[in-house]
Amino acid sequence: MDKKSIRLLSKQRLDALAPSLREAQSQAIVERVRSLGFWQNSLTVLFYYPLRREPDVRPLLVWWASLPGRTAVLPRSSPGASSQFSLAAVRGLERLEVGRWKIPEPTPLAPSVDPESIDAVLVPGLAFDRSGMRVGRGMGWYDRLLSFLPPRTVRVGIFFSVQEWPALPKEAWDEPLGWIVTEKETIVVSQS
């Protein structure tokens, strides 16, 4: 199946989740991610600000930002091309401002963060498979972001289990995930 159909079907499955179920699954995902070992080896973690259909990882961001010596990071869009972005440290969910795509993001005053310093990244998407492949919103935005991070960065895909596909098409630029967390399970794709 082509990526466009995969995106469409995944969105339909997500929209079919009752809000209370989505909320419960989102909380289960958060607790599962929080229990993973990579946090112990991390100082700087890149989060995402959830869109409507994505697991709500905001509690993890707030938790991480509150820990001494740890840095929570969010992407910040640039005024230029839509593919342009920078990374910036945030102290929590306050003082974010709505940027491109109406997603809350760090203000221009938030300190920039070097991609090289990112120890782990939480990655959303529309579909995943067990080999660590994912399909996003078709902008190549996350593939590009992941290509800027060092190989050592732990890449954790965050998905509802209804987003699983048997095998997704793999393209040259696709950046595989090391871990996948759903409300049901934690999948280890590779030890990295």
- Residue 4 marked in a binding site: yes
How big is the site for ligand FFO, counted in residues (CB under 6 A)? 17
Q: Which does 144 bind (CB under 5 to 8 A by kind): ligand FFO, ligand ATP, none?
A: ligand ATP
3-state class of 173 per DSSP?
A: coil
- Inter-axis angle of helices 58-66 and 19-34, to 10 degrees? 30
How far apart are alpha carbons 50 and 11 in whole angstroms? 15
Q: Is there a binding annotation on residue 105?
A: no
Q: Which segment (13-21, 86-94, 130-138, 180-188) binds ligand ATP by CB under 6 A?
A: 130-138
Query: How many CA atoms lie within 13 Å of 37's alpha carbon, on the beta-carbon side?
Result: 3
Residue 160 interacts with ligand FFO (CB under 6 A): yes or no: no
* Under rule CB under 6 A, residue 53 binds ligand FFO: yes
Would you call 22 helix, strand, or coil by DSSP?
helix
CB of 191 to ligand FFO, least distance (A): 27
Per-position x/- string for 169-188, each x denoting binding to ligand ATP as judged by CB under 6 A, each - no binding: --x-xx--------------
CB of 125 to ligand FFO, least distance (A): 7
157 is an interface residue for ligand FFO by CB under 6 A: no
Q: Does residue 137 bind ligand FFO (CB under 6 A)? A: yes
- Quote the least distance from Cβ 136 to ligand ATP, whole Å: 2
Of 19, 69, 22, residue with least CA distance to 163: 22
| Token pair recorded at residue 144 | 């590009």
Distances (CA, A) of 184 to 47, 99, 118, 124, 158: 21, 33, 27, 16, 12
Beta bridge partners of 85: 77
Our finding on whether 49 is near ligand FFO (CB under 6 A) is yes
Between 79 and 102, name the residue whose CB sits nearer to ligand FFO. Answer: 102
Task: Kindly report the number of other CB atoms within 10 A of residue 84's CB atom.
Answer: 12
Contacts with ligand ATP by CB under 6 A lie at 3, 125, 135-144, 147, 171, 173-174
